[in-house]
Amino acid sequence: MTQHDHPGTETAPPPAPRNLTAVAARRSWMEPRVRTWWVAALLLLLFAIGWSARQYGSWNRQMTLVREGVKLDASVWVPQDFKANNRIPNRSIQTGAAIILLWEVDGREYTGQSVAATSLISGKTIPLWVDRNDPERWTDSDNIPPLIRELVALIVLIPVVLICVLVAWIMRRQTVSLWKKGRLFQAVTVSSRLSATAPFSRQVRCALVDSHDKRLLTVSIPTRKGVPAQGEIFYILVPPTNFNRAVAVRCFG
């Protein structure tokens, strides 16, 4: 380990124990391994909220139609017959088959396509609930499912989100501890490649400078922080017992 600048390298941080500056505290959240987890939590949360909002909107529209809409009788027809302008009555329609519904509001006919909830007979009528102000908004089912069923994605994903947040928090604490107490080494860049888990970072393979330990280490460096070129010297911080969790000092800058 060295605390001195190698020619052409970045400035060395102070020796341990280091004070956690506001910049280092903020940057610790952006360390690639930490960021992967809180970004995953954020994306899952946004998906859960978006999906649940969509499901709630559909549930609320149906409930409003049943509670406040006008109840009408709509005739049932086989789609092929209706589209051919040949309305044939008394045809058997099986459960789950596509149907055409026809209803009338203020002398004007409206149509809609649905699925038979039970066995039906063409030409017969079934109840329909229609928006008072917009007859094209309708529902043929008054069986409103419990709201909790529509929010199942939110219920299932929230624990997963919390787990991701917890992992991010734990890894961030480890990163902060590494900044405060980590051993300082100079490393020379061997190669770099894109990171599959952190698309805005590169994984840099490096070797310790002036050390008998010849193992190759891998650190993730955000592209905006400047990826060291092959042969370039830069500083890394290493936990006392785990070289595989090394972090580039520039991630805290």
Q: What percent of the chain has pLDDT over 70?
A: 96
Report, as an integer, the average pLDDT of 154-181: 94
Report, as an integer, the average pLDDT of 122-145: 92
pLDDT digits (tens, 9 = 90+) for 61-78: 999 999 999 999 999 999
Q: What is the pLDDT of residue 7?
A: 43
List domains and CATH numbers for the chain. 1-16+182-253 (2.40.50), 49-150 (no CATH)
Q: What is the pLDDT of residue 1?
A: 42
Q: What is the pLDDT of residue 99?
A: 96
> Which pLDDT band, with edges at 50, 70 and 90, does 15 fall under?
confident
Q: What is the pLDDT of residue 2?
A: 42
Largest CA distance in the chain: 94
Q: What is the pLDDT of residue 4?
A: 41
Q: Is 218 exposed, middle or buried (0-12, 13-18, 19+ CB in 10 A)?
A: middle
Report, as an integer, the average pLDDT of 167-185: 93
Q: Is 6 exposed, middle or buried (0-12, 13-18, 19+ CB in 10 A)?
A: middle
Q: What is the pLDDT of residue 32?
A: 81
Composition of the chain by helix, strand, coil, percent to 5 = 35, 30, 35
Report, as an integer, the average pLDDT of 115-131: 95
Q: What is the Cα–Cα distance from 57 to 92, expressed in whole angstroms?
A: 34
Looking at the DSSP assignment, which residues form a beta bridge with residue 95?
none
Q: Which of 47-51, 97-101, 242-246 is predicted with the least confidence, judged by mean pLDDT?
A: 242-246
Mean pLDDT of the chain: 89
Q: Is the confidence at residue 52, as pLDDT, over 80?
A: yes
pLDDT digits (tens, 9 = 90+) for 192-223: 888 776 777 888 999 999 878 788 988 888 88
